[in-house]
Amino acid sequence: MHGLIFRTVEAYVSDSFGPDMWARAIALADIEITSFEAMLQYDASYFPRVLDGCAKALERPQAMILEDIGTYLITHQNHASIRRLMRFGGHSFSELLHSLGDLPDRTRLAVSGLILPQIDVREAISQRFIITSFGSPSGFGHVLVGLLRAMADDYGTLAVLDHQGTRDGAETIEVAIVDTAFAKDRGFSLAAGAKVRTA
């Protein structure tokens, strides 16, 4: 499994709760590695053990941790490039949702060797979406929920997201867009840090 996945979990715990909490989590995971390198590959069996260690150390369900990681990836200043990658998906939150099927390929272009689950998006009725993700790592759907909640805020859109569970290896998310002009769109520019005016 790509080291960037493990490194992201490590960064989330360390940035949010401090390095001592990460040290506790990795000790509870009972693996020989104490810190991960972003561009290396690791045994995939480490992932559930790391998540379990984090859940025990933080005293939170794994699903909640994964959703928080998704939010962290969009909102933390150290990961501005991920927000930019997501904003390439469209000028509105609805367009972003429609483009999610391309996200694994866009991610691979940005980070060689990083394989994300495949994503299928269907607009069941206007402004109501069914998103399905297939493949490992397990729990990616929860990360996607946190990430999309943060992106809805970024677009100034009020949306309700609900992880419907996993069946036959596929995670399903329901998204209902309530108000596309709930708040001001934070804007987007190809140039990091540039100010953008939005309509």
Q: 50 and 82, same structural domain?
A: no
Using the structure block, give the residue that is written with the tokens 């399903």. Answer: 172
Number of folded domains in the chain? 2
Residues 48 and 52: their CA atoms lie apart, in Å, by 6
197 sits in the region (left: phi over 0; alpha: psi -120 to 50; else beta) called beta
Q: How far is CA 43 from CA 1, 2, 35, 76, in A?
A: 6, 9, 14, 27
Q: 161 and 127, same structural domain?
A: yes
User: Which stretches in the chain have pLDDT values below 70?
Assistant: 188-199
- What pLDDT is stored for residue 190 in this prediction? 54
Q: Which residues pair with 52 in a beta bridge?
A: none
Beta strand 128-134 pairing with 158-167: unpaired
Q: 160 and 132, same structural domain?
A: yes
Q: 117 and 51, same structural domain?
A: no
Asked if residue 148 lies in contact with residue 86, where contact means CB atoms within 8 angstroms, the answer is no
The CATH number given to whatever domain includes residue 100 is 3.90.1520.10
Q: Considering the domain boundaries, does residue 184 fall inside one?
A: no
Q: 82 and 35, same structural domain?
A: no
pTM of the model: 0.89
Q: Considering the domain boundaries, does residue 187 fall inside one?
A: no
Q: Considering the domain boundaries, does residue 81 fall inside one?
A: yes
Q: 106 and 17, same structural domain?
A: no
Domain containing residue 53: 3-60
- What pLDDT is stored for residue 189 in this prediction? 63
Asked if residue 155 lies in contact with residue 178, where contact means CB atoms within 8 angstroms, the answer is no
- What pLDDT is stored for residue 10 in this prediction? 97
Q: Considering the domain boundaries, does residue 135 fall inside one?
A: yes
Q: Considering the domain boundaries, does residue 30 fall inside one?
A: yes
- What pLDDT is stored for residue 111 in this prediction? 87
Q: How far is CA 26 from CA 97, 138, 147, 180, in A?
A: 34, 19, 24, 41
- What pLDDT is stored for residue 197 in this prediction? 34
The token duo for 48 is 């559930």
Q: 83 and 43, same structural domain?
A: no
Beta strand 118-125 pairing with 158-167: unpaired
Q: 29 and 113, same structural domain?
A: no
